[in-house]
Structure 1
Amino acid sequence: MKILSVSTATNHLSVALNDDQQIIVEKNERDERNHSEHLDPLIDEILKENKLTLKDIDRFAVAIGPGSYTGLRIGITTVKMFASILQKEVVGISTLQALAKGVKDDALVVAGLDARNDNYFAGGYKSGNIPENVIPDGHYHIDVLLKAIQEYAAKHELKKIIFVGSGFEKQEDLIKKLNIPFEYGTAEQNVIHAGLIGQLAVNAEPVDPDKLLPRYLRRTQAEVDWHKKTGKPFEPDSHYVEEV
């Protein structure tokens, strides 16, 4: 099964072609913020180099969040369009699970993206071929996240914790208070790789392209303002946690 995978969740753009679990090619652009201009040419480049067209792709996969609001919409809209027009399968993969998959060590993997002001989009994963989400993906203040890690550690024997993603190094003094061996991910582990998204997509459940939605894990300010103004409930199909 040929899978074309995309991540536009952060300032790191990644596109990959997989044949089932085998990563055929992965192309990355780092520290770029114009994914809308670079995504389609990168996809076209990969297809041409492998003598394929979009019609040859069996399944599309994309990081659905958390991540940049604008970035997520670019990637998700692109694959939804491809899947809908070509009547192909599409799956959404957690950005945090994709980060966790890059770690092979036997450890609790805490995957997170810096959300500023000591807040993180984060989740805890038991490392493995398909990382198991044991601390739910959410929008956490660092104190709440570390408490969740401590509670998990009290019930499970942890050899070590590996923090992957962004912004954890500045919390080192607080992390040390857990009294659990820990380390940070490498430069390669700290970015989202589309090839790993493709591997996770092999066993993921396809969805209707129209139902593929971003998982921001936090309401946008526009939604919060709208709710305060109108008093109307938030949409029931949104995948959000409570604003902190």
Structure 2
Amino acid sequence: MVRDLFIDTTNNCILLIYEEDNIIIDTYFENNLTKVSDIVNQKIDDLLEKNKTRLRDINNFFVVKGPGTFTGVKVGITVAKTCKMLNNNIRIFLISSLQLMSGIKATMAVLDARSNKSYVGVYIDGKPYFPDQVLDNNMLEDFYSNCKNILKNIKYVKNYDSILLVENFKSIKHLLNEIENIDLLVPLYIKQYT
């Protein structure tokens, strides 16, 4: 049996997805958190214990690398890196917050980057159409208009609001690339652009 654990702690939330043989067995989601780092390990333990498994039984970790808050991004990546250091057979796959927000549909995903800026990702079929970038907020409307001229059915999503994250993960999971060398696990923090 192959066991997967998806972890997103990047944007003041915890989203955990536990799968067995590519079937979602259980999920946990909590939003608007201020101290993700204080509770994430307990939430992971609770989810796995509820499903009669242990962290050491996980074969694959799917981790959101950001953009996100400094602590939030570090938490998910640290869990995966620590498990990989303890068991080199564990596989780690990374996903961008913007890619997760987009899922498989044509989407322009926007995350607040503070200082009147936003991270922007444009995705089609779960793949980046443009590289993720930082834009001034006063440029977003024009950028979206240009995207709509090129991609007729593009949708606009912002800051994890009203997004079906579990469904999005499931729809793009097969596109994610494995990171074999944990030294290449590079987080993307909000405000890293300065």
Q: How many residues in Structure 1 have an aligned counterpart in Structure 2? A: 191
Helix, strand or coil: the match of 2:186?
A: coil
Quote how far apart the aligned CAs of 1:144 are: 3.7
Aligned pairs for 1:142-161 within 5 A: 142-154=137-149, 156-159=150-153, 161=154
Pair member with larger Rg? 1
Higher relative contact order (CA 8 A, sep 6+): 1
Letter in 2 for 1:119: K
Q: Distance in 2 between matches of 1:124 and 1:89?
A: 27
Helix, strand or coil: the match of 1:66?
A: coil
Q: Distance in 2 between matches of 1:39 and 1:26?
A: 13
* Residue deviations 1:190-239 (CA, integer Å, cap 9, x gap): xx55x7446644442221222211023743xxxxxxxxxxxxxxxxxxxx
Give me the identity figure in percent.
Answer: 25
Alignment of 1:165 with 2:158, yes or no, is: yes
Q: Retained in 2: the 8 A contact 1:61–1:197?
A: no
What's 1:216 paired with?
Answer: 189
Q: Retained in 2: the 8 A contact 1:60–1:89?
A: yes
Q: Distance in 1 between matches of 2:148 and 2:41?
A: 43
Q: Retained in 1: the 8 A contact 2:14–2:29?
A: yes
Q: Normalising by structure 2, what TM-score?
A: 0.84
What's 1:32 paired with?
Answer: 33
Q: 1:138 aligns with which of 115, 122, 133?
A: 133
What's 1:95 paired with?
Answer: 97
What's 1:44 paired with?
Answer: 45
Q: Retained in 2: the 8 A contact 1:69–1:216?
A: yes
Aligned pairs for 1:99-138 within 5 A: 99-101=101-103, 108-126=106-124, 128=125, 131-138=126-133
Q: Distance in 2 between matches of 1:51 and 1:198?
A: 22
Q: Normalising by structure 1, what TM-score?
A: 0.69
What's 1:206 paired with?
Answer: 178
* Residue deviations 1:117-164 (CA, integer Å, cap 9, x gap): 4311111112x3xx121132111113444444444444x3513x3221
Q: Distance in 2 between matches of 1:12 and 1:58?
A: 24
Q: Are residues 5 and 73 of structure 1, via their aligned partners in 2, closer, same or farther at CA, if it must alter by over 3 Å?
A: same
Unaligned 5+ residue runs, structure 2?
Answer: none
Quote how far apart the aligned CAs of 1:46 are: 1.4
Q: Distance in 1 between matches of 2:84 and 2:76?
A: 12
Q: Retained in 2: the 8 A contact 1:138–1:217?
A: no
Quote how far apart the aligned CAs of 1:62 are: 0.8
Unaligned 5+ residue runs, structure 1?
Answer: 167-184, 220-240
